[in-house]
Amino acid sequence: MVQLSRRTALAALFFAVATIGTARAADAPVRVVMLGDSITAGLGLPAQDALPAKLEKALRAKGLDVTIQNAGVSGDTSAGGLARLDWSVAEGTDAVIIELGANDALRGSDPKLTREALQAIITRLRARKIAVLLAGMLAPHNLGEDYGKAFDPIFPALAAAHNVVFYPFILDGVAANPALNQRDGIHPTAAGVDIIVERLLPKAEELVSRVRAGRS
């Protein structure tokens, strides 16, 4: 009876330790990296007004323990994001928001190459068990209808194929609005970033929920 009691006590102790460990893992901060170009980097803005900083603040205001690392590089293309993926997204990252493709379109890059680079990024992140939010981009109208028909569907198609969280157009509500863009007409002002955050927030919350669900 004494030996059985000791075994029962040890089993209970191990169970309690395992339960505490699991609870701590589930409650740990969600570590997000925003992999992007100048829109992510916050070109022309103070660091606190950049998109990752403001999105993190908005998520925290919702009671979510989230940190977002700014991995934006001005001028970067989807191929550039792929080339630096491993050192931009460190071990321990729970989720990545991909914001790439604008510079591909501005340069008139072959949409096939953009698709291949973005697909490789998503595939490698998913292989690492990292949740993904893909932010879409639309081609400028001056590139012509044919280019838009080849470029614009890349993002929804990839999101559907890989079952990742999808936000259709990162500059929704901001693009072509002089009041929300800097003098170059391309990069959002702080007020423009606020609009992006407001509209992107529900998808970011969905991303965090996927991370939490994966921990349970």
* Tokens of residue 80, six digits: 């550039």
Phi/psi at 43 (5° precision)? -55, 130
Task: For residue 38, indicate whether it is catalytic.
Answer: yes
List the catalytic residue out of 78, 94, 104, 187. Answer: 187
Q: How many CB atoms lie within 10 A of CB 22?
A: 12
Task: For residue 76, indicate whether it is catalytic.
Answer: no
Task: For residue 94, indicate whether it is catalytic.
Answer: no
Distance of CA 169 to the CA centre of its chain: 13
List the catalytic residue out of 5, 146, 184, 216. Answer: 184
List the catalytic residue out of 38, 78, 88, 109. Answer: 38
Query: Which residue numbers are catalytic?
Result: 38, 184, 187
